[in-house]
Amino acid sequence: MQDALNLWPLLGVAAIVVGFALRLNPLLVVALAAIVTGFAAHMPAEALLAAIGAGFIKTRTLPLIILLPLAVIGLLERHGLRDHAQHWISRFRGATAGRLLIGYLFVRETTAALGLTSLGGHPQMVRPLLAPMAEGAAVSRHGTLPAAVRQRLLAFCAATDNIGLFFGEDIFVAFGAIALMHTFLLGAGIDVEPLHIAVWGIPSAISAFVIHSLRLYRLDHYLARHKATAAAPSAQEGAR
């Protein structure tokens, strides 16, 4: 008879959720979650500190990897990358913010399914290109956007990248989450091939694409309704 599965290490996930909900320091929250998980898994203190130290050494070059693209993107923005992207998309009469984001969602999800997860992302794609292009398409069709509407549009841009990456990469058989699920199921006595796990991620990816595409379609209607609502008081004042 197999031993009962120890679920106490999942307290680390709860620690992360509570810490982020309270808006505590992310580094402190992650370190605390690692400690909680280690003690819940009955790891000796020496082994826990060694694991944290080994993880730090392996990722100590991560800040350099993050800062270099940010410096390049900042330099491109300084020389007008956002303005050029916004003016370029405004030339297409049929372009709308929703249609643009639906196209990006399809490309992002497809490339992520092929393992090309670095082709998109918030610092290198959403902020310098996707968000200005979506805003340019909206402004070209609906005029200047109020601050609240603009922030909603930017939130949809960020969400589109997140959804495309999250559900697309689950189809890639060499993705780390696939290996994690395979190991977890194998420990529970369920032998499932990684390829089968990846294949069964396809229905979820298709559903996510359809659902979020409908949300983006409604985004265009939201922008149109807001334009009509804003134009009504102006027309009434002109009639007076």
Q: What is the pLDDT of residue 159?
A: 95
**Structure tokens belonging to residue 27:** 């580094």
Tell me 110's DSSP state: H
Q: What is the pLDDT of residue 1?
A: 40
Contacts by 16-19, CB closer than 8 A, 24 or more apart: none
Same domain, 111 and 177: yes
Per DSSP, the three-state class of 118 is: helix
Average pLDDT value for residue range 42-51: 81
Domain boundary among the residues 28, 43, 60 is at 60
Among 24-33, 76-85, 103-112, top mean pLDDT goes to 103-112
What's the CA angle centered on 224, arms 222 and 226, to 5 degrees?
70
Tell me 191's DSSP state: -
Same domain, 12 and 131: no
Same domain, 232 and 116: yes
Model pLDDT for residues 139-189, shown as the tens digit of each residue = 888 888 889 999 999 999 999 999 999 999 888 887 777 877 888 888 888
Q: What is the pLDDT of residue 178?
A: 80
Tell me: pLDDT of 86 over 80.
Answer: no
Report the number of distinct structural domains present in the chain.
2
Cα 145 to chain centroid distance, Å, stands at 24
Same domain, 80 and 31: no
Domain boundary among the residues 17, 34, 60 is at 60
Same domain, 124 and 83: yes
Domain boundary among the residues 12, 27, 60 is at 60
Model pLDDT for residues 203-215, shown as the tens digit of each residue = 999 999 999 999 9
Same domain, 32 and 107: no
Q: Which of 141, 170, 156, 171 is nearest to 102 (CA)?
A: 156
Same domain, 46 and 81: no
Same domain, 84 and 201: yes
Same domain, 13 and 102: no
CA dihedral over 28, 31, 36, 37, signed as positive or negative = positive
The Cα–Cα gap between 2 and 10 comes to: 20
**Structure tokens belonging to residue 139:** 């402004």
Q: Bigger pLDDT: 160 or 225?
A: 160
Model pLDDT for residues 93-149, shown as the tens digit of each residue = 778 999 999 999 999 999 999 988 888 888 888 888 888 889 888 888 888 888 999
The Cα–Cα gap between 183 and 212 comes to: 31
Q: Bigger pLDDT: 71 or 163?
A: 163
Q: Please, what is the average pLDDT of the chain?
A: 81
Same domain, 184 and 81: yes
Q: Bigger pLDDT: 80 or 136?
A: 136
pLDDT over 70 percentage in the chain: 80
Q: Which domain holds residue 12?
A: 1-60
Angle 97-113/131-142 helices, nearest 10 degrees? 160
Q: How much is the pTM?
A: 0.66
In which band, very low, low, confident or very high, does the pLDDT at 231 lie, cut at 50, 70 and 90? low
Same domain, 235 and 168: yes
Same domain, 11 and 77: no
The Cα–Cα gap between 181 and 225 comes to: 44
